[in-house]
Copies of this chain bind each other. A is one copy, B any other.
Amino acid sequence: MNLEVVDRPEDARHWVEAYQRKNEVVGVVPTMGALHRGHFSLIERACNECDRVVVSIFVNPTQFAPGEDFAKYPRPLEEDLRAYRRYGVGMVFHPAPEAMYATDYCTWVEVDGLAEGLEGEYRPGHFRGVATVVLKLFHALPANFAYFGQKDAQQLAIIRRMVQDLDMGIEVVACPTVREEDGLALSSRNRYLAPEERAAAPALFQALRAGRAAFHDGIRTAEGVTRAAKNNLAEAPLFRVQYIECVDPERFVVPSGTLSGRELIVAAAHLGTTRLIDNLSLEEGTV
């Protein structure tokens, strides 16, 4: 199948709408490129469930806080395009930053409450940038289904909330986190890790598992689950933890009463200069 590469939002929209007019179901996988098996799992699922699949590649400047890794974020475009061809993706939307943000750009989407804690606290402006660019991508790619990874759990909750609040006709599909054999969640940023950091990295997931194990051992408070995870990670070398919390999976607040078992343990930590995030549901069998 031909892979079209489109760089203007209106051309992308016309591509999607042309297939929808023929009653084809279109799926979109928004990415920042630098593909790994996590992205491939989204693309495979989209290809299984939809007649046409579009992938966007856009390293969105507005979701990087000052001092973050926007400039050095990996952009292996040719390698990414080869992978898309292999999977049968129909179109890649790859806009230039200027095509997405005019010099006098001034319109922003804010999801109050949900975007304030956790990632929102440590990455000021991050979720404003995410919500805004995802809305713009959904306007350029008005697909029937949009596929996101569960690894960015707070982002996923914010996008779901935005889609519902703004009456958007797109269904958000969450896909399980894909992990290395030792448990490390796949991330385009893992390539930044020095060898000794990479060796230490699985401790983050181990800590989340320790939190979940505490729940299944009878601990029923967010504080107790969080303590088990923190104590576990305290034994690991190199980590500087930003947060570990047990939160409601839709509202991302710490529940005050008895846990339901649907909560997520969410964590962010630095290994050297690399920032890792991960999360795990208290429910057994989830990844």
Interface residue? A139 (CB, 8 A): yes
Contact between chains at A167 and B107 (CB < 8 Å): no
Which residues 112-167 of A have a CB within 8 angstroms of B?
112-114, 131, 135-136, 139-140, 161-162, 164-167
Interface size for chain A: under 10, 10 to 19, 20 to 34, or 35 or more residues?
Answer: 20 to 34
Which residues from chain B contact A100 at a C-beta distance below 8 Å? 167
Interface residue? A10 (CB, 8 A): yes
Which residues 78-113 of A have a CB within 8 angstroms of B?
100, 102, 105-113
Shortest Cβ gap from A171 to chain B (Å): 12
Interface residue? A72 (CB, 8 A): no
**Contact digits for A168-184, partner B, Cβ 8 Å, 1 yes 0 no:** 11000000000000000
Shortest Cβ gap from A97 to chain B (Å): 14
Docked Cα-Cα span, A105 to B166, in Å, equals: 9
Shortest Cβ gap from A284 to chain B (Å): 29
Which residues from chain B contact A166 at a C-beta distance below 8 Å? 107, 135-136, 139
Interface residue? A240 (CB, 8 A): no
Which residues from chain B contact A114 at a C-beta distance below 8 Å? 106
Partner of A107, one of B9, B162, B169: B162
Which residues from chain B contact A275 at a C-beta distance below 8 Å? none
Interface residue? A13 (CB, 8 A): yes
Docked Cα-Cα span, A174 to B152, in Å, equals: 42
Nearest chain B residue, comparing its CB with the CB of A9:
B167
Nearest chain B residue, comparing its CB with the CB of A23:
B21
Which residues from chain B contact A9 at a C-beta distance below 8 Å? 167
Which residues from chain B contact A136 at a C-beta distance below 8 Å? 166-167
Partner of A167, one of B113, B139, B168, B169: B139
Shortest Cβ gap from A113 to chain B (Å): 5
Contact between chains at A107 and B110 (CB < 8 Å): yes
Docked Cα-Cα span, A114 to B111, in Å, equals: 21
Nearest chain B residue, comparing its CB with the CB of A105:
B165
Contact between chains at B111 and A13 (CB < 8 Å): no
Docked Cα-Cα span, A153 to B136, in Å, equals: 25
Docked Cα-Cα span, A107 to B136, in Å, equals: 15
The 5 closest A-B pairs by CB, nearest first: A107-B165, A9-B167, A106-B112, A139-B167, A107-B162
